[in-house]
């Protein structure tokens, strides 16, 4: 078995602090890398070592593979944890780590290559007989789309094959909107991913976004965890997550966990990952994609199972056997609210200095006896800059049941004060306290329905 002694964290903010927490628990030293814009953030102070790697723009810092590898060699790091975002799903980064003799705490480059492209991921799922949404292969021209339109009823989705995070995804309501939507999807995909390939997928009415957390040993062994409900989204990006789901019954839970296991066992997946599904109103489920990394919403799974997923990422990278699935039990309920520096009316980013910060009574970066957890990347006086994702923190609560988790969340949101940049706390309060959320069973139309409901009151 390998022994990792020092981990370089190729990320920033709250996820860097989260990795430091679990690494320290295991007796590992940590190295933070940071851009000039982040030098005053807490993760820089908390790591055992910290090195500035460049200018604020990600291409000159957190996305600069050669510089990160050079720093890892210089500080003699045994391993690199990529967090999420940035280089976490870049096969080139995995190969660079391998070439340098550095352990990458994550999956293989091969897994990323297959699952990083939505078209190949769909083909892989289909090959192991896991259902995928009705759709097409890659479409190169508007004329190709026009020829197959009679195979689909509207609405449809045009999706970027290399996409992620909802980028390059355009919903088309009627045929006359196709030319504009096709060009828009290709343009966004080219800008975001350097790859303008797109395909059509049937839009499912009243869909639920359900995902399964997995751990893999790289030999075909897969451990799955209970589902996460991730249907509260703006711009196809998650805002509130919970586990378990009010919509998923035990039969559906078993089916989607088995489907996730089937895909990743065949892939011989290693380390942490998430298999995402869309489930229609009749509880038919379809494979969407595999996120070959840790997810932002991993704390809700930790909240109902007690497993430290970052700790297990490190242990698997060292060669330890997977935890047994029979030991994973659902205990209570957990909810996560993502706290963004954004205008709650239009969800546009709102950078600026945090002039006041009051935190609720809570634990940080994992659970103790408290039912409130705050994973936060900033402190008072720090600036939210326009260079990175505007996520300030994640507020996670749990309870013996869903109602208690909701009450704990509403109380914690009341106690959390952030002054300076606009933030979405008012939206989160209204969303979680709404009848739509409290009654459960909501789908990805949640936010439009909530806005409509608010206008009618």
Active site members: 293
Contacts of 30 by beta carbon, 8 Å cutoff, 6+ apart: 6, 7, 8, 9, 19, 20, 23, 24, 47, 48, 49
d(CA 310, CA 25): 11
Helix (H, G, I), strand (E, B) or coil at 87: coil
- Cα end-to-end span (Å), the chain: 62
Report the number of secondary-structure helices (H) and strands (E) in the chain. Answer: 15, 20
User: CA 370, CA 350: separation in Å to the nearest integer?
Assistant: 31
User: How far, in Å, CA of 31 to CA of 10, rounded?
Assistant: 9
Name the pairing type of β-strands 391-399 and 333-340: antiparallel
Dist. CA 423–CA 340, nearest whole Å: 6
Q: What is the SS3 assignment for 125?
A: helix
Cβ neighbour number for residue 65 with a 10 Å cutoff: 15
Contacts with 249 (C-beta within 8 Å, 6 or more apart), sequence order? 283
Q: Would you say 32 and 49 are in contact if contact means Cβ atoms under 8 Å apart?
A: yes
Q: Which stretches within 286-433 are classed as H helix?
A: 298-305, 309-317, 402-415, 425-432
Angle at CA of residue 112, ends 108 and 118, nearest 5°: 160
Q: Which residue has the tokens 């940071």?
A: 34
């Amino acid at each position: 078995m390998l022994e990792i002694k020092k981990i370089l964290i190729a990320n920033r903010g709250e996820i860097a602090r989260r990795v430091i927490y679990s690494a320290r628990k295991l007796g590992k030293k940590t190295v933070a890398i940071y851009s000039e814009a982040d030098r005053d953030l807490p993760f820089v102070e908390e790591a055992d070592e910290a090195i500035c790697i460049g200018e604020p723009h990600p291409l000159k810092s957190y996305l600069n593979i050669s510089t990160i590898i050079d720093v890892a060699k210089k500080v003699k790091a045994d391993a690199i944890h990529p967090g999420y975002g940035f280089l976490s799903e870049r096969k080139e980064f995995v190969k660079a780590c391998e070439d340098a003799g550095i352990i990458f705490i994550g999956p293989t480059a091969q897994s990323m290559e297959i699952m990083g492209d939505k078209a190949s991921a769909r083909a892989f799922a289909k090959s192991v007989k896991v259902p995928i949404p009705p759709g097409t292969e890659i479409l190169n021209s508007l004329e190709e789309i026009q020829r197959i339109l009679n195979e689909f009823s509207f609405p449809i989705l045009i999706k970027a094959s290399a996409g992620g995070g909802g980028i390059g995804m355009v919903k088309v309501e009627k045929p006359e909107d196709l030319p504009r939507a096709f060009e828009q999807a290709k343009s966004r995909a080219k800008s975001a991913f350097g790859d303008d390939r797109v395909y059509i997928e049937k839009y499912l009415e009243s869909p639920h976004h359900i995902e399964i957390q997995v751990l893999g040993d790289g030999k075909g062994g897969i451990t799955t965890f209970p589902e996460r409900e991730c249907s509260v989204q703006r711009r196809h990006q998650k805002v509130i997550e919970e586990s378990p789901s009010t919509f998923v019954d035990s039969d559906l839970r078993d089916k989607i966990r088995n489907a996730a296991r089937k895909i990743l066992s065949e892939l011989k997946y290693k380390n942490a990952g998430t298999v995402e599904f869309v489930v229609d109103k009749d509880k038919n489920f379809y494979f969407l994609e595999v996120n070959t990394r840790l997810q932002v919403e991993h704390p809700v799974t930790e909240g109902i199972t007690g497993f430290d997923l970052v700790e297990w990422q490190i242990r698997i990278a060292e060669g330890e056997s997977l935890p047994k699935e029979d030991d994973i039990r659902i205990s209570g309920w957990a909810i996560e609210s993502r706290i963004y520096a954004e205008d709650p009316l239009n969800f546009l980013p709102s950078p600026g200095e945090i002039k006041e910060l009051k935190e609720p009574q809570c634990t940080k970066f994992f659970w103790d006896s408290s039912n409130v957890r705050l994973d936060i990347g900033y402190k008072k006086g720090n600036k939210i800059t326009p260079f990175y994702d505007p996520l300030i923190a994640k507020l996670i609560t749990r309870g013996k049941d869903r109602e208690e988790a909701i009450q704990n969340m509403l109380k914690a949101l009341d106690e959390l004060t952030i002054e300076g940049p606009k933030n979405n706390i008012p939206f989160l309060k209204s969303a979680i306290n709404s009848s739509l959320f409290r009654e459960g069973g909501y789908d990805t139309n949640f936010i439009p329905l909530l806005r409509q409901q608010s206008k009618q009151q």
